[in-house]
Structure 1
């Protein structure tokens, strides 16, 4: 493990204790993306443990900001594998300018939303103007927008699935089954997976080939073409 990452382990304990049980704090070693989680406090928030992989989102933001002078990103929405939204922020750990790790802080908003709901019920007696149906519709719209804005899925590792779930989601968004995809469609799936960093995961090509009902060499040919096209 990189010494700069190892030195942050006590800090992760501190943040977890200071921020409380509704906040997950995760230390990633990005030199080992397949099992990058080396320290986690309040892992019950996402259900992850030490040894879980780096998410596609983590790989993407490292590619985007790794060569910049930006040291952190905040206030993005991520989601657990069972679909619960969390508020995320990440700090980049650099070694001689290269991003080698991240500290991620993921807040479960549900306790605060439950409090908000209770306050809304209480305030109904003092709120003037607008029908109950109108207020409920607005609240539902806000919740729907919050849920649909998720950009990161916090993978547990193993077959919970990073790559497989991505392929299925991409095919669903295209409205196609594997047998309905032509070569251009399969290329598009591989292109989007490459952009997300999915092929950094060991065995990803075999998983993609299985989901698309093609051979592993075919996936590598598509991937080489995508990389040549830039």
Structure 2
């Protein structure tokens, strides 16, 4: 084994956790992207996860590329193990590629792997656009609140939930606060700092009442 870096058990777990990240990136970015996760424990079979390997024929167990080694040397030479490299590239057929080599660090700030992304720019535009517009996970037309502080986030979630509950004729007046708290809890709002206090103040109830409802939900 040509051990470029000595990995600990924690390092291996870190690299393992990146495999699901590659799946998510592939789903988000769409077609045209080859994504490879390299472990530096053995550069002779460095590729431990390959997505869209049909572009190069690479599979898991493939060795690290010469360019990846060169990029790794550049990163180390820079003195900053967190240096990301973005560059133009071409494969042996002359296809233009936009590439990224991103170092992955583990214990003791040691580079333990590389995340390499190659975008093959000869993909037909209509094919690429169709792939990124396609959403299969059921989260369509959602609205995300990009709040600048937690109070805005809490109050926004609270107002939206109040509207939802107050417009539901199947929820009795006496149960509306309980239902609001239950829905906010389902959305994870009470993990935010001071959420209980803010919700209690807005609903005109005590924080102990909010805690009571939350305890009942957990039973």
Give the TM-score normalised by structure 1: 0.45
